[in-house]
Amino acid sequence: MTKVLKIQKILKFFFALSFFPFLVYSAGLVPCGGPGEPDCTLCNLLDMIENILDFLFKEIFPLIIIIMIFYGGFLWLLSGGREEMIKKGQKTIIYAIIGFVIALCAYIIVHTLFWLLATVFQGEDFTGTWFNIKCQ
């Protein structure tokens, strides 16, 4: 087994292992409808979707981007002077950075769209800023 395959297996293991702490933070995504909680409205649906997207954009995507940058760096570092491995490592790093920019733009667009939906359809029931929907 080559060094690169061994490193890939190790990185995959740590990548899979890193998701266990995040499962704890995913609790409480639905802010209504439970015992002792108010009935669900459209604002609560948007709030739940926002909670899920925040979890993805703030917890999962940065981890994936960092792992991909490290993976590209390892490919580049362990290329042994082989041009195709150097280029593969560089492309991996560049694509991770491009993915970060796309994810950041998507985060801004989605939150702005949710804010507009909440203000148009809920009116007085909605409070909060464009990146933080709050229901009354």
* Interval 10-41: pLDDT, tens: 777 666 656 555 554 545 666 677 777 777 77
The torsion angles phi and psi of 26, rounded to 5 degrees, stand at -80, -5
The boundaries of the domain holding residue 120 are 41-135
Asked if the structure places residue 70 within a domain, the reply is yes
Torsion region of 41: left, alpha or beta (phi above 0 gives left; psi -120 to 50 gives alpha)? beta
All residues at 6 or more sequence positions from 41 whose CB lies less than 8 Å from its CB, including other chains: 32, 122, 125, 135
pTM of the model: 0.64
Asked if the structure places residue 11 within a domain, the reply is no
Asked if the structure places residue 27 within a domain, the reply is no
**Total of domains in the chain:** 1
Asked if the structure places residue 113 within a domain, the reply is yes
Residue 127: the pLDDT is 60
Asked if the structure places residue 7 within a domain, the reply is no
CA distance 46 to 95: 31
Asked if the structure places residue 75 within a domain, the reply is yes
Could you read off the pLDDT of 35-88 as tens digits, one per residue? 777 777 777 777 777 778 888 888 888 889 999 999 999 999 998 889 999 999
According to DSSP, the residues that pair with 129 across neighbouring strands are 132
Residue 36: the pLDDT is 75
- pLDDT band at 92, cuts 50/70/90? very high
CA distance 11 to 70: 9
CA distance 87 to 49: 39
Residue 73: the pLDDT is 92
